[in-house]
Amino acid sequence: MKKLFILSILFSILFVSCNDDPEPEPEIIRAYSYLYHFIPELGSIIWEVAESEVPDEQLFGVQFPGAILLETVGEEITFTVKHSGTKAVIISQSFQLEKNKFYNVIAHGSIEDPVLLIREIETSKPESGKVKFQTLHSVSGQGPIDVYMGGNSTNNKFVSELAYLSLSIPYEVPDFDARAAITVSAHSEEYNQDSVLLTSIYNDEIITEAYYLTVLAPSSYQLESDLTLWLYELPLD
């Protein structure tokens, strides 16, 4: 049975320590995942990965990194989201994972209509002096959005008409624009101050030539909470 590697490594250490003359260990094949929970009304969820339940509950908006042991260099793995109280299955989906690759696995949508988004992370480095981003729109009832960085001109619009539950392709932004301000607005052909949903100033949190996932979502699992732009660092080669 497969387990998240961060849990299985403890068993491996104990096993070796109990063998006086251990045989050569087989190659450890693993893929890496970043789990996220953005289903409003649920303060926490339980993940099951490849039939093994992750022992810790995942709180809303928290990034949970881990590694998954594979039996071959490419294998179909099932991710299941459960209610942390009743353990009832909310949604389950299988995806082909490959050796040494990284994946974002995002539970979002709603309790009535949950969605599990699984995407490989494109880990190439951004150009010198730039920052790499992907943006996820996870606000129910909100139409398509635009994302501006460092100003409100056409040249500052880096994401246009991103639909609800959609993840943008990776894009690169000059570091001085990314650090100045990130503005999210309802989609319009030209910038419209009345359409602005939020302006988020990260300043020193953003590092040159790093890679981030930004998620437009409620600031907590409560439906009436304000919107915010969550920021998560992603791996690079």
The DSSP secondary structure of 122-160, one letter per residue, reads --PPPPTTEEEEEEEE--TT---EEEEESSSSGGGEEEE
3-class DSSP state of 222: coil
pLDDT of the residue at 22: 62
CATH class of 122-237: mainly beta
Structure tokens at 205: 């949190």
Give the Cα separation of 133 and 42 in Å (integer): 27
- What does each C-alpha distance from 222 to 28, 76, 88 come to in angstroms? 41, 34, 20
Is 1-121 in CATH node 2.60.120?
no
Q: What is the pLDDT along the chain (237 residues), one digit of tens a residue?
A: 454 545 433 333 333 334 555 666 678 899 999 999 999 999 999 999 998 899 899 999 999 999 999 999 999 999 999 999 899 999 999 999 999 999 999 999 999 999 999 999 999 999 999 999 999 999 999 999 999 999 999 999 999 999 999 999 999 999 999 999 999 999 999 999 999 999 987 777 899 999 999 999 999 999 889 999 999 999 999
Q: Are 137 and 214 in contact (CB under 8 A)?
A: no
Structure tokens at 139: 């606000």
Each domain of the chain, given as residue ranges in start order, spans: 1-121, 122-237
Give the Cα separation of 31 and 50 in Å (integer): 12
pLDDT of the residue at 103: 97
| Number of Cβ within a 10 Å radius of residue 149 | 22
CB-based burial label for 13 (10 Å; 0-12, 13-18, 19+): exposed
Mark residue 87 as left, alpha or beta (left: phi above 0; alpha: psi -120 to 50; beta: remaining): left
Terminal CA-CA length for the chain: 29
Report the DSSP pairing between strands 114-120 and 52-53: unpaired
- Tell me if domain 1-121 and domain 122-237 are identical in fold: yes
